[in-house]
Amino acid sequence: MKLQGRVALVTGASRGIGRGIALALAQEGAAVAVGYRSGREEAEAVAAEVRRMNGTALIVQADVAHYDQVSAMVSRTVDQLGGLHILVNNAGIAKDTLIYRMAPGDWLEVMEANFGGVVYCTKAVLDHFMGQRDGVIVNISSIQANHGSLGTSMYAASKGAINSFTRSCAVELGRFGVRVNAVLPGFVPTDLVAGLPAAKVQEIGRRIPLRRLPTVDEVARVAVFLAGPEADYMTGCLVPVDGGAGIVLGISG
């Protein structure tokens, strides 16, 4: 197993893409800290599944929009799992609506959770990563960052910020042996996009070159690849996992 002896922290790991990534990392031998904000039972279920694989898991609670909670989460991971080598910044929210209809504070709530969480988690691990001159950060972004679509302005802007931050981190941290990359999933059928009308989801699927939506497992495998030794010479990369959607999807209603 290529991640044997490595410790990973995955935020937003109680469900959806984060859950898939946590399980995929465990399958490759990593000990996994399952980060969650409010879904304790779901996080416990993920940890139990890791243990059924004969893996090591710990659940760690934090609202990633608050640095003190993030710092405590990282410290607990290091103390109880004996180290930290991989950070997957996956936690995020969406408050999709037309700009005209959004409440004045909606954009800040989305930015604090999505972009602020990436900034805070990254900052919290740097003393450890830089000190050991070894660390991998995988940010979960979205192809929405690169394309305009109705009702997703706040979410897309937060993911665009993550993309720029990923590149800047790669420049700053490469000399310390720390790699930083991002995965840009397409429209994965998770709770985050569950509010979309079925007709809209079908329309999106028809317009993707591979003619289907990506699965959680397909996104997770790319995140694990970036976290592993095969990607040792990759940093500052924004890797789409979208079936080609990013090259054809434009503005749609």
Contact in structure between 245 and 186 (CB atoms under 8 Å): yes
Which residues have a Cβ under 8 Å from the Cβ of 66 and sit 6 or more positions away?
120
Of the candidates 89, 110, 115, the one whose C-alpha atom is nearest the C-alpha of residue 21 is 89
Residue 85: Cβ-neighbour burial (10 angstroms; 0-12, 13-18, 19+): buried
Catalytic site residue from 67, 100, 120, 155? 155
Name residue 71's amino acid: S
How many whole angstroms separate alpha carbon 71 and alpha carbon 226?
24
How many whole angstroms separate alpha carbon 76 and alpha carbon 239?
30
Q: What angle do CA 180, 185, 189 make, to 5 degrees?
A: 140
Backbone torsion region of residue 7, taken as left when φ is above 0, otherwise alpha when ψ lies between -120 and 50, otherwise beta: beta
How many whole angstroms separate alpha carbon 238 and alpha carbon 9?
20
List the structure tokens of 83.
């180290």
Neighbours of 187 (CB within 10 A): 22
* Residue 233 known to be catalytic: no
The residues annotated as belonging to the active site are 155
